[in-house]
Amino acid sequence: MTPDQYCEKKAAASGSSFYYAFRFLSPERRRAITALYAFCREVDDVVDEISDAGVARQKLGYWRQEIEALYDGNPAHPVTRALALGVKTYGLDKHDLLTVIDGMQMDLERTRYATWDELSQYCHRVAGVVGWMSAQIFGYTDPRTREYAHTLGMAFQLTNIIRDVGEDGQRGRIYLPLSDLVPFGVQQSDLLLGTPSRGFVDLMRLQTARAQALYADAFAALPRADRQAQKPGLMMAAIYQEVLHRIETQNFPVLKKRVSLSPIKKLMIALTVWLKP
């Protein structure tokens, strides 16, 4: 199996919305973005799948070494070998890749965020920076596109947090800012035990409004000159916003189930955006 095939398999197995948007790119850009996505999945899996925090830290240390090896010209892992295309052709920055690992390490060090400002730092590291790198691979001419890509990444991450409240609670994690819980009378135990309280829906409406504001800010920041090149991100945004819409119209059942779209629905949304002028 070649490094590119390894990354393709990793991306396809995740069933992520990102995978459907990648299908519309040129072969070279698709290879580069798939390698970046596979890297994000690899380091995220370290935190999600390794229960021993010490072992997980060692594994993240391994990935830091692999990124250093990548920029020294001798990566060993299939993912970092595949990432070489993104580094050489699209100028992916070593600091950005290491920042993603820093974000994943935050999951080993804390399970709560007191305020939105604190959570924003986490979202910046695990998603905003990925937005920057994705925009580089997709291509842009106006530096304002970086602002769009970063804000869109933040919106994606908050959407994930909203969708995964129940699953994260089962792992003992709460990503919703604790300061947001207080006005609605929601207790941390409600989220950890999956017990909807009276104020839970209003709490989630607040989070949804914050996410929608991030989407609006991202779209407003995207220069028209780069809209065509950045369409993969716009496809992902349309898919994510549809998930958010379904969560809201179902009155936020996220403590009990994961709301998702079928593969064909994701593909149809992506195609609709791709065909839009």
- Helix (H/G/I), strand (E/B), else coil: 162: helix
Do 35 and 7 touch, CB atoms closer than 8 A?
yes
Position 261 scores a pLDDT of: 93
Position 145 scores a pLDDT of: 97
Sign of CA dihedral 233, 238, 244, 246: negative
Position 11 scores a pLDDT of: 84
Position 22 scores a pLDDT of: 84
Measured in degrees and rounded to the nearest 5, phi and psi for residue 167 equal -65, -40
List Cα–Cα distances, 248 to 35, 91, 116, 123, 245, in angstroms. 33, 39, 21, 22, 5
Position 52 scores a pLDDT of: 86
Position 116 scores a pLDDT of: 97
Q: Which helix (H) or strand (E) holds 135?
A: helix 129-138
Report how far residue 2's alpha carbon sits from residue 85's, in angstroms, rounded to the nearest whole number: 14
Report how far residue 263's alpha carbon sits from residue 15's, in angstroms, rounded to the nearest whole number: 8
pLDDT in tens, the chain (277 residues): 899 999 988 888 766 777 778 888 999 999 999 999 999 999 999 988 877 889 999 999 999 999 999 999 999 999 999 999 999 999 999 999 999 999 999 999 999 999 999 999 999 999 999 999 999 999 999 999 999 999 999 999 999 999 999 999 999 999 999 999 999 999 999 999 999 899 999 999 999 999 999 999 999 999 999 999 999 999 999 999 999 999 999 999 999 999 999 989 998 999 999 888 7
Do 13 and 19 touch, CB atoms closer than 8 A?
no
Beta strands in the chain (DSSP E): none
Which region holds residue 176: left if phi is over 0, alpha if psi is between -120 and 50, else beta?
Answer: beta
Q: Which of 187, 138, 192 is nearest to 21 (CA)?
A: 138
Position 190 scores a pLDDT of: 96
Write down the residue that tokens 């250093």 correspond to.
68
CA diameter of the chain:
56
Q: What angle do CA 130, 42, 100 make, to 5 degrees?
A: 30
Do 107 and 70 touch, CB atoms closer than 8 A?
no
Do 239 and 274 touch, CB atoms closer than 8 A?
no
List Cα–Cα distances, 34 to 22, 99, 237, 239, in angstroms. 7, 19, 17, 18
Q: Which of 142, 155, 154 is nearest to 227 (CA)?
A: 142
Report how far residue 223's alpha carbon sits from residue 219's, in angstroms, rounded to the nearest whole number: 9
Position 223 scores a pLDDT of: 97
Q: What angle do CA 143, 144, 150 make, to 5 degrees?
A: 105
Rg (CA), the chain: 18
Position 129 scores a pLDDT of: 98
- Helix (H/G/I), strand (E/B), else coil: 250: coil
Position 41 scores a pLDDT of: 94
